[in-house]
Chains A and B, each alone.
Chain A
Amino acid sequence: MKNSLLYQRLLNNMSNISELFLTKIVNGIKKRDFTSEEVTKTFINNSQNSKKLNVYISECFDDALKSAKSFDKKKDYNGLLSGVPIAVKDLFCTKNVKTTAGSKILHNFIPTYESTVTSNLWSKGAFLLGKLNCDEFAMGSSNETSFFGNVVNPYGKQLVPGGSSGGSASALAAELTPATIGTDTGGSIRQPASFTGTVGLKPTYGRCSRWGIVAFASSLDQAGPMTKNVEDCALLLQAMSGYDPKDSTSVDVKVDNYTSKLTENVKGLKIGIPKEYIVDNMPAEIDNLWKQGIDYLKDAGAIIKNISLPHTMYALPAYYIVAPAEASSNLARYDGVKYGHRAKGKNLIEMYENTRSEGFGDEVKRRILIGTYVLSSGYYDAYYLKAQKVRQLIKNDFDKVFSDVDAILTPSTPSSAFKIGDKTDDPVSMYLNDIFTVPVNLSGLPAISVPAGYDENNLPLGLQIIGKAFDEQTILNLSLAIEKRANFKKNFKVWWS
């Protein structure tokens, strides 16, 4: 391999390592084309020059370098992710490393345990590079609600990266980490992936353990991979998935070898195109992208079918009952007693009230209050029970069409990345960002966003593929078919270092 073009190129410019895909880095380390230390130094160097993007909440560069050096000594190349540094969303609890969830109320929280999903990555040979910025408690679609400041999209100084996994998406697109993981409650992996020209997958509910992830809405939250291409996505999904006795809602279904089964041969697969996803004021370029996606899949031999998901318009309103209700309950634990921020108060109640007032930001307060309201005495039936019924209807819609189609193709988002500050004054306009992603969470289904083109301002746009429960393989294969045809390439220059 020492004569390979790759090696020659690397001799010329070590920083090119960071342009490589995760799979290539894993293979490169295995073949001794470069060492884990070289890889790690490259990403640390890129990360240190990225302050303007504001993606890191905690940097673990010294420890990462130590892990890399000890990996290079041990030479154990058997893991799926051997020798690879990975930065993760700061919603995953990491043992002895500060975990904030983007909130002031957890600004000083140092877990004494490791989340199952991150443990899975480390047991496969990866190690932690740092903790990435996100919307506070994953509540947001622009990464502007973080206590640690907003994240900037590498596609432009004025642009949001999407949210809530905005730090993860920006870090990935800007080549500060070879791959990353996020969480998706209503679109928090897929929307930022779409805004940054990267691949993001929300697995089936139960595919990945939620143990050790700071909880937002427990019946909707799911962790997933964020990568630069579909092949990497298959690899990382395989590494992080699996049943966990510590999460009773994780499901004991065999995890496929997504990588070895990955194929762009999607001939004969039936793809549904839901008419309800044509929304008012949708930019023509989103519509065109969708048509383009249909053409790509036709070209790949898939069969296109028009379908109807009649309750789609009710998904967002139902989500904004269910998610805040669960959040208000989950976030009751932040009381200034056991961990996190504590404010002063004349008595216990005042201490609670001041702690929560100081510790939570505006969006989190809004959601806790909405959740408290819809669950409060006399309103439970009118709101929460109603929303759970609507959720059943939305799930029935999907069940019905999936008896006839193998997957569903839609746009990922109703627009490309918007400007910082554009939507912060109007919570509802911010919520509308998730119009195409939320129905999937309400139904527990897997879905992926794959970059497929650019709008007129040269901003990336993604297509979403929704699959049957536990059929991540099919949506990966279809994404690969789109990826090969769209031939998407990043088109920004590094302006931040």
Chain B
Amino acid sequence: MSIDKDTVKHISKLARISLDEKKIDNLSKDLSSIMKFIEKLNKLSTDKTNPLTSIINASLKSRKDEVRDGKIRSQILKNSPEKNEEFFVVPKVIE
């Protein structure tokens, strides 16, 4: 399936990436060639196959439901581009 410019615009909106017209043009071309490559899979019948759910035959370990860390607010905020006291700051959401 080819990915036209409107589809690129739609998925870039879903992915929250702004794109200019030139980028949209290039991406439409690139993504179409990638999708063409991916669609080789259509030649293969998979009706009788179950999708893979885990690659290693090991059951996941469960752990005790207990607090193991915490009190690391300053660490969590440390790399924030903008913060105010104990909060992340973002552009105003509510008018």
Contact = CB atoms under 8 A, between A and B. Distances in A.
A369 B79 contact: no
Contacts of A283: none
A83 B57 CA distance: 38
Interface stretch (A36-44, A68-76, A244-252, A270-278): A244-252
Given A339-B79, A390-B44, A395-B55, A348 B15 contact: no
A126 to B, nearest CB: 25
Nearest to B14: A372
Contacts of A370: 31, 34-35
Contact of B90 (A110, A251, A337, A365): A337
B56 A469 contact: yes
A383 interface: yes
Interface bracket on B: 35 or more
Contacts of B7: 373
A contact patch SS:
helix
B14 A248 contact: no
B55 A219 contact: yes
A195 interface: no
Interface of A: 108-110, 112-113, 204-206, 219, 245, 248-249, 251-253, 311, 313-314, 316-318, 320-321, 328, 335-342, 345-354, 356-357, 360, 365-366, 368-370, 372-374, 376, 383, 385-393, 395, 426-428, 431, 442-444, 469
Interface of B: 3, 7-8, 11-12, 14-19, 23, 27, 30-31, 33-35, 37-41, 44, 46, 49-53, 55-58, 60-61, 63, 72, 75-76, 78-82, 88, 90-93
Given A110-B78, A370-B31, A469-B57, 9 more contacts: A314-B40, A314-B41, A335-B16, A342-B81, A351-B91, A357-B19, A369-B17, A391-B52, A392-B51
The 8 closest A-B pairs by CB, nearest first: A444-B55, A339-B79, A388-B51, A342-B81, A353-B18, A389-B46, A112-B75, A392-B52
